[in-house]
Chain A
Amino acid sequence: MNFTTSRRETLGLAAAAGLAALLAPRMSIADEPAVAAEIKKLYGDKKMDAGKIKLDVPEIAENGLVVPVNIEVESPMTDTDYVKAVHVFADGNPLPGIVTYRFTPACGKASASTRMRLAQTQNIVCVAEMSNGNLHMAKANVKVTIGGCGG
């Protein structure tokens, strides 16, 4: 039995402790239930359909500080049939919300792009509300190599 701790072990322990100290005081991270709660707050338990949404995010984001996100929802965008709102959430950021868009028939096309921050590898959830009340949902995973929140 060896009771002396090797240099490598000591260093490893110190590093682990340091890492824990770094991570511990950080705010809680939003998770899937947090995103679900946000959606529930908006729409209750209404049924979500698949399809119609094209959620365009990179599969791998090298820099979590600027991740392009492009959404497009299929709709004729007429006065009677258009996309009312689109919400984008992330389940691994300190806060679940990313952006909410409100479209009008004057847009002609329910499409918008922006850039977001992602703290870590996570899922992006997109919910679209149509003018007739129907809801659609899409999900995509983004692998983040460098985090973007409070680094």
Chain B
Amino acid sequence: MATQPTPRVRVPAQAKPGEMIEIKTLISHEMESGQRKDSAGKIIPRKIINKFTAQFNGKTVFEADWNPAISANPYQSFFYKAAESGEFTFSWKDDDGSDYVSKNKLTVA
């Protein structure tokens, strides 16, 4: 792994109650599929982010289970219906057990 994965999330700072907002996320990660071979013919071990979770005020809103078929630097977008102000917690779970987290505030008015 060259660098520590850095998540980038785009959430509107404000929304009206009942408004549908689109959340776009991106994280830098090689997503090594476990199918490739190195120059010596040895299989490069799999190392991907296998789960993406979005929580709002501690409640899970959206989940995605990723397989090795997801591209490097995985992008994920989804929708959320704004109801109350609070904070999103996005987490990406790596095969090696590490967790990458991003928190974003949303004000509903």
Interface residues, chain A, CB within 8 Å of chain B? Answer: 27, 65-67, 77, 90, 93-95, 97-104, 106-109, 111-118, 148-150
Q: Which of A67, A106, A149 contacts B61 (CB 8 A)?
A: A106
Chain A residues contacting B90 (CB-CB under 8 Å) are none
Q: A149 to B67: give the CA distance in the assembly, Å.
A: 12
Among B65, B67, B70, B80, the one with the most A-chain Cβ atoms within 10 Å of its Cβ is B67
B8 lies within 8 A of chain A by Cβ = no
Chain B: residues with Cβ within 8 Å of the partner, total of 29
Q: A98 to B65: give the CA distance in the assembly, Å.
A: 9
Interface residues, chain B, CB within 8 Å of chain A? Answer: 20, 33, 35-37, 56, 59-72, 74-81, 83
Q: Which of A65, A95, A113, A150 contacts B76 (CB 8 A)?
A: A113
Q: Which of A27, A114, A118 contacts B74 (CB 8 A)?
A: A114
Q: Say how far B78's CB is from chain A's closest CB, in angstroms.
A: 4
Q: Say how far B40's CB is from chain A's closest CB, in angstroms.
A: 13
B81 touches A100 (CB 8 A): no
Q: Which of B37, B64, B83 contacts A100 (CB 8 A)?
A: B64
A115 touches B71 (CB 8 A): yes
Q: A77 to B61: give the CA distance in the assembly, Å.
A: 12
A109 touches B79 (CB 8 A): yes
Q: Which of A98, A107, A150 contacts B78 (CB 8 A)?
A: A107
Q: Say how far B79's CB is from chain A's closest CB, in angstroms.
A: 4
Q: A77 to B62: give the CA distance in the assembly, Å.
A: 13
Contact A93 to B69, CB < 8 A, known contacts A115-B74, A150-B36: yes
Question: Which chain A residue has the least Cβ–Cβ distance from B36?
Answer: A150
B33 touches A149 (CB 8 A): yes
Chain A residues contacting B67 (CB-CB under 8 Å) are 95, 97-99
Q: Which of B20, B37, B75, B83 contacts A114 (CB 8 A)?
A: B75
Q: A150 to B69: give the CA distance in the assembly, Å.
A: 11
Question: Which chain A residue has the least Cβ–Cβ distance from B44?
Answer: A150
Q: A97 to B67: give the CA distance in the assembly, Å.
A: 6
Q: Which of A100, A111, A112, A116 contacts B71 (CB 8 A)?
A: A116
A106 touches B76 (CB 8 A): no
